[in-house]
Amino acid sequence: MILSYVTCKDEEEAKNISKTLLEKKLIACANYFPIKSMYRWEGKVNDGKEIVLLLKTLEEKFEEIKKEIKKIHSYDNPCIIQLDVKQANEEFLEWIKKEIK
Quick check: 41 pLDDT over 90? no
Quick check: 23 pLDDT over 90? yes
| Structural domains of the chain, ranges and CATH numbers in brackets | 2-99 (3.30.70.120)
Quick check: 96 pLDDT over 90? yes
Quick check: 80 pLDDT over 90? yes
CA angle 45, 36, 54 (to 5 degrees): 120
Band the pLDDT of 101: cuts 50, 70, 90: confident
pLDDT at residue number 5 = 98
Q: Rounded to two decimals, what is the model's pTM?
A: 0.93
CB neighbours of 65 closer than 8 A, spacing ≥ 6?
4, 21, 26, 27, 55, 57, 80
